[in-house]
Amino acid sequence: TQLESELGHGIATGELRLHYQLQVDAGGQSLGAEALVRWQHPQRGLLAPAAFIPLAEESGLIIPLGEWVLRETCRQLAIWAAMPEMRSLTLAVNVSRRQFRHADFVDTLRRTLHESGADPTKLRLELTEDILLEADEMVFARVREIRGLGVAFSLDDFGVGYSSLPCLHRMPLEQLKIDRSFVCRLGSDADALALVRMLVALGAGLGVPVIAEGVESEVQRRLLRAAGCGAFQGYFFGVPTPADEFSPRPAHG
Ligand code: G
Ligand code: G
Ligand code: MN
Ligand code: NA
């Protein structure tokens, strides 16, 4: 398709951008950020991932796209390492199933870390539950190998795909991300609070800290905190912004 060839061209010619969204702890201290890709299309303007990630997945362009995201993220980590107020921040990147299973993934990651000089312990890979759903020995071996480099793992969209429960204890996860669909119903829906409590308890049982995504209000933050959630991400604390506009001070702390 035309959009597909435009995307291939756009990746090669530097039309991709990364926006960064703040993550904070219960005391309002900054923990890090999630990197979210955008495409600065020459005619259509700034496109959100929903407009091109599915196409990238189908076409295989997710491989060069993912490599660019990883390079740019590591470059940013290296820049932050030289800035006193930024150097403790972690940076999370989204990795899709197809990227994670690609033969060159671990080699590319290792080489990118090396070439950028980024501290691997500041990098976090966000995996979605579909990777765990079909988790075979290759996935577990790959996760262990990457963990060995110092890179951490976060489970994205936690709670949506409950069938991954049997595999959870086999994953060396540093973080579980409560899906936005639970958070957005907090305050209006009593069941949502019960579900959030259950997800936090599950994390505690596994010894894995939980972060809530999509936090948009003080009410939501208060309910999440009372439910035992220790970290937050969402418009209430900061919208995704380019690196030069990114501030480690939350909008509401
Ligand atoms: O940025 P938004 O704000 O619209 O992100 C929407 C979705 O796109 C999220 O589910 C996120 O996981 C996905 N996404 C964002 N950036 C990347 C990326 O760099 N790589 C992959 N594979 N997915 C991404
Ligand atoms: O990887 P994931 O799909 O979880 O990516 C996060 C997505 O959620 C991005 O599209 C980001 O722009 C979006 N997002 C971040 N904070 C909020 C929020 O507070 N509310 C809503 N509705 N979306 C958010
Ligand atoms: Mn994510
Ligand atoms: Na998510």
Strands 123-128 and 241-242: unpaired
In a domain, 105, yes or no: yes
- Which residue type does 157 have? D
CA atoms within 13 A on the CB side of 105: 20
- DSSP annotation of 245: G
Confidence (pTM): 0.96
- Partner residues linked to 123 by β-bridges: 91
**Distance in Å, CA 137 to ligand 2 centroid:** 31
Residue 156, domain CATH: 3.20.20.450
pLDDT of residue 116: 98
What pLDDT digit, counting tens, does each position of 109-166 carry? 999 999 999 999 999 999 988 888 777 889 999 999 999 999 999 999 998 876 677 7
In a domain, 55, yes or no: yes
Mutate to test the pocket of ligand 2, among 129, 177, 213, 219 (most ligand atoms within 8 A of CB): 213
In a domain, 164, yes or no: yes
pLDDT of residue 170: 86
ipTM exceeding 0.85?
yes
In a domain, 183, yes or no: no
In a domain, 124, yes or no: yes
How many domains would you assign to the chain?
1
In a domain, 219, yes or no: no
In a domain, 161, yes or no: yes
Q: In angstroms, rounded to a whole number, what is the distance separating the alpha carbons of residues 11 and 9? A: 6
110 is in which domain, residue-wise? 2-176+240-245
**Distance in Å, CA 179 to ligand 2 centroid:** 9
pLDDT of residue 135: 74
In a domain, 208, yes or no: no
Per-residue pLDDT of the chain in tens (253 residues, 90 and over written 9) = 999 999 999 999 999 999 999 999 999 999 999 999 999 999 999 999 999 999 999 999 999 999 999 999 999 999 999 999 999 999 999 999 999 999 999 999 999 999 999 999 999 999 988 888 777 889 999 999 999 999 999 999 998 876 677 788 889 999 999 999 999 999 888 899 999 999 999 999 999 999 999 999 999 999 999 999 999 999 999 999 999 999 999 998 7
Which protein residue's CA is at the shortest distance from atom 8 of ligand 2? 214
Q: Which atom of ligand 1 is nearest to the CA of 57?
A: 22
